[in-house]
Chain A
Amino acid sequence: MKKLINSVDSVVTDALRGLAAAHPGLRVDVDNQIVVRASGPRPGKVGLVSGGGSGHEPLHAGFVGYGMLDAACPGEIFTSPVPDQMIAATEAVNGGAGVLHIVKNYTGDVLNFEMAAELSAEEGVEVASVLVDDDVAVQDSLYTAGRRGTGATLFVEKIAGAMAETGAPLPEVVRVAGEVNARSRSFGVALSACTTPAAGKPTFELKDTEIELGIGIHGEPGRTRSAMRGARELARTVMEAIDEDMPISGDTLVMVNGMGGTPLIELYVVFAEVADYLASKGATAARSLVGNYVTSLDMQGFSVTVCLLNDELTRLWDAPVETPGLRWGR
């Protein structure tokens, strides 16, 4: 397997060096593996910290900047960051108004962020957390770790980031973050497995004629395997899974997200089908994103995330944002 790397051990730090070189608006602490805004914390503004395994670029480091995150802690590939990173990030962004941790619901992320929040609180920083768990593929939450956090993480980071930028207090930022999560659902499909640099070969085998339905974002196999089919039918399967869990209506924010190995032309083919499905429900994609935002290395496939908008969420989504991965209005 060919990868553009220097060595398996240095992938994450080498990528961070590149991020630092490419984006002077960010300050990258390669030793501590954290990325913060170069402008530093703004007094009185709630700080937003997120993080997770690397391999999902631009999530999360690519969403650090005005209107979105204040800091990101990238872990090793597909491995959650460690509490030291999160504590360093939390301290670096604390402007005295408290810090919100945005955590995807994966056991490792949850445990490490919990430990970091406790330790930061002992240091006198007010820390709140929001758990993102939007993946409808995980149905039986009673006997599992609960739904995974996937595409809605971007929505939460953007909208809570906009709210924090207004100078809103921590409870308000927490409220809106929770609301975005509650109104968002995702479902993913893989056409191929991904290859982590350390493993050097695909994490699972998929025949040319097969797909995985209900994948997460870590290269883990999905819930069911099925025969490959056309984009229209695939989009319908995905949208029905979402609609069944959360009836879709009205104005929505829709992301057709590539998993890293699928060209944009195919993502737009999918988006056309998604838009048709929404129309059939009397809904519209009032706001949309098409592209690679929450990826899984070189995995082929896509996920769809739908958020049911209201006036407040729409306004906050439209607010200016300036990050390496998302940028408008400024």
Chain B
Amino acid sequence: MGAATLDTAFFAAWIEEITRSVGAEKDRLTRLDAAIGDADHGTNLDRGFTAIAQALADKEPDTPGALLTLVGSTLIRKVGGASGPLYGTAFREAGKALADVSEVSAAELVGALEAALAGVQKLGSAAEGDKTMVDALAPAVRALAQAVQEGKDPREAAEAAASAALAGAEATVPMQARKGRASYLGPRSVGHEDPGAASTALILTALRTVAAPRSAGGSPPAGPDGSPGW
């Protein structure tokens, strides 16, 4: 077994892993939100991803693009708040960028995540440094693009993206919020991790989890010859 094949099943597994980790981490996300927002981020995302499981079961999309688009629409319809439209747009834009290919190449995945980032930035008009999800998403997309360009295997590329997202989320701690509800706190938003950046890091960590070959236990072996298998 080599690298993951980025087919519909792969993306479904990614969404399942996001759902699992959002469920497991929802209290932490809500606590982060309580510090500088209104204490509902974890609950909201959990509600959205729980609804997605049902939506995917009802409709069974047959391409990665259709799957991500359905995920996005469901988030918009179920989550509310700012995170519903923002994450919903991210997944919808990613899905639309993939069009109707049945198997996604590494370059296409990069393109999809770039489209997601562009959609989020357009809707929320946030830039890096504003203490939002963009601070995790933008560096993750850059890291993924660079890894793919260097011909890294999917596990390594996803690893790079997840690490960059986690570092980006961590880097929001000393920032002063300039967008969203935390911006009302002004200087008092400093010293807290942004909940949106934290959930974005979860989503990319889930990508790393599913991109790693699922050998039982232990750390998976590296790709056999370093050739990009996706």
Contact = CB atoms under 8 A, between A and B. Distances in A.
Interface in A135-175: 137-138, 140, 143-145, 148
Interface string B69-81: 0000000111111
Given A199-B34, A199-B39, A75 B181 contact: no
Contact of B77 (A83, A107, A111, A223): A83
Contacts of A75: 80-81
B40 A78 contact: yes
A81 B34 contact: no
A79 B81 contact: yes
Q: Give the interface SS of chain A, mostly helix, strand, loop or mixed.
A: loop
Contact of A196 (B39, B178, B183): B39
A221 B188 contact: yes
A203 interface: yes
Interface stretch (A178-186, A212-220, A269-277, A305-313): A212-220
Interface residues of B, number: 34
Contacts, number: 112
B79 A82 contact: yes
Nearest to B181: A220
A223 B82 contact: no
B30 interface: yes
A77 B184 contact: no
Interface in A25-49: none
A138 B184 contact: yes
A223 B186 contact: yes
B178 A107 contact: no
B142 interface: no
A130 B78 CA distance: 24
Contact of B183 (A77, A79, A143): A143
Interface in A72-104: 75-84
Nearest to A202: B34
A145 B181 contact: yes
B86 interface: yes
A76 B34 contact: no
B44 interface: yes
A218 B180 CA distance: 13
Given A81-B80, A111-B123, A138-B184, A198 B40 contact: yes
B39 A108 contact: no
Given A82-B77, A220-B37, A108 B82 contact: yes
A221 B185 contact: yes
Interface of B: 30, 34-40, 43-44, 47, 76-86, 123-124, 177-181, 183-186, 188
Given A76-B44, A203-B34, 13 more contacts: A78-B39, A79-B79, A79-B81, A80-B81, A83-B76, A107-B82, A107-B180, A111-B84, A112-B85, A144-B184, A145-B180, A145-B181, A198-B30
25 contacts: A53-B38, A53-B80, A78-B38, A79-B44, A79-B79, A79-B80, A79-B81, A82-B76, A82-B78, A82-B80, A83-B76, A107-B180, A111-B84, A111-B86, A112-B81, A145-B179, A145-B183, A196-B39, A198-B43, A199-B30, A216-B184, A219-B39, A220-B36, A220-B37, A221-B36
| Cβ-closest 4 pairs across A and B | A144-B183, A108-B81, A111-B85, A218-B38
